[in-house]
Structure 1
């Protein structure tokens, strides 16, 4: 008789005796708890990049059998917060305010406003992709400059991954718009999507 491993034919861990939910449901619950922790950590705004970066690191660790819990999340976030993280938050917040101001000017009926709005939207989307992909890179835990530089290269070389990032952001915004309480859970699935895109890039040949 051929032996069967406890991972099954699909490579997924089978449910243990007495376990109510399977591993996929456990990961789903972990993602939601990390998402809620990330939403709380983002409240000061300046901590948003570090909060999202930490969420990606925790979820990446789940693939290495490390716990993806809110406790581990806050422990990692507490150890890594530094001046560079707050600086990254200041840059992100400044860029967001400038983008909002540009769109407000475009909506004021100035000459050439439609074209200006399109250009501002494209620049904003590109900056968002680079910033979010930087959060997903492991380098963001220690050096934001390296993370942003590598993320910019990834954004160009991996156009498909960049499109997935924009789709993930659009989905998170839509869910939050449809049901406000989902805004507190959206960072978890968003971080999971960003991590998956980065893992996909790392696994790609060449």
Structure 2
């Protein structure tokens, strides 16, 4: 009897979550590094995370390992005047947070209450922004759509917010891990969106 041909090494078998060698983990690390490099110009942050989510979504759908060329193609597709304009909000938000943090540290009335409010605002903006970048094609990143999805799926929003908080804590405690963290964060945003889009099985 002739043996069935072995599956290609770059594909996962049906129903297999982790391929040999923990390829999924390696995929996230690769996406994290590529996203960190793509974020260096700062204004490219939205396009970089859109490309990360699209690359991970494609990998999950086809079962193939992630290639640098695939990420580069998605990045080129998401680089536009609109995404670059949205990227200007990143340094602007950073400046606002620095100014507000300086005011909170001052002897101003209500400063103790402003500190947690500022942290929650930052966490909320990051979570909604990630949900915007995880929107599947043909959707373009949209703050309105991300807000609607966040409100319609509070559990998923809470899970994604927890992932963002964990990434922030890891950045603070182990800065050397920072270049790798965009991958798991983008993966979390993608999984949360796929969780909503995938219909529940009937028992």
- Residue pair 1:34, 1:69 contacting (<8 A) in 2 also: no
Whether 1:196 aligns to 2:191 is yes
**Per the alignment, in what secondary structure is the counterpart of residue 63 of structure 1?**
helix
Whether 1:50 aligns to 2:54 is no
- Residue pair 1:61, 1:67 contacting (<8 A) in 2 also: no
Counterpart CA distance in 2 for 1:138 and 1:97 is: 30
Please list every run of 5 or more consecutive structure 2 residues that lacks an aligned counterpart in the other structure: 1-6
**Per the alignment, in what secondary structure is the counterpart of residue 169 of structure 1?**
helix
Superposition TM-score, scaled by structure 1 size: 0.82
Please list every run of 5 or more consecutive structure 1 residues that lacks an aligned counterpart in the other structure: 1-5, 14-20
Whether 1:143 aligns to 2:140 is yes
Counterpart CA distance in 2 for 1:196 and 1:48 is: 20
* CA shift in 2, pair 1:119/1:174, >3 Å: closer
- Choose from 34, 37, 41 the match for 2:38: 41
Aligned length: 189
Counterpart CA distance in 2 for 1:24 and 1:85 is: 36
RMSD: 2.4
Provide, for residues 44-93 of structure 1, a one-character-per-residue CA deviation record: whole Å limited to 9, x for no partner. 11111110111001001112215522221112212331111111100232
- Choose from 155, 160, 168 the match for 1:165: 160
Superposition TM-score, scaled by structure 2 size: 0.83
Counterpart CA distance in 2 for 1:186 and 1:119 is: 25
- Residue pair 2:42, 2:90 contacting (<8 A) in 1 also: no
Whether 1:111 aligns to 2:106 is no
- Choose from 144, 147, 150 the match for 1:155: 150
Counterpart CA distance in 1 for 2:123 and 2:28 is: 25
Partner of 2:129: 131
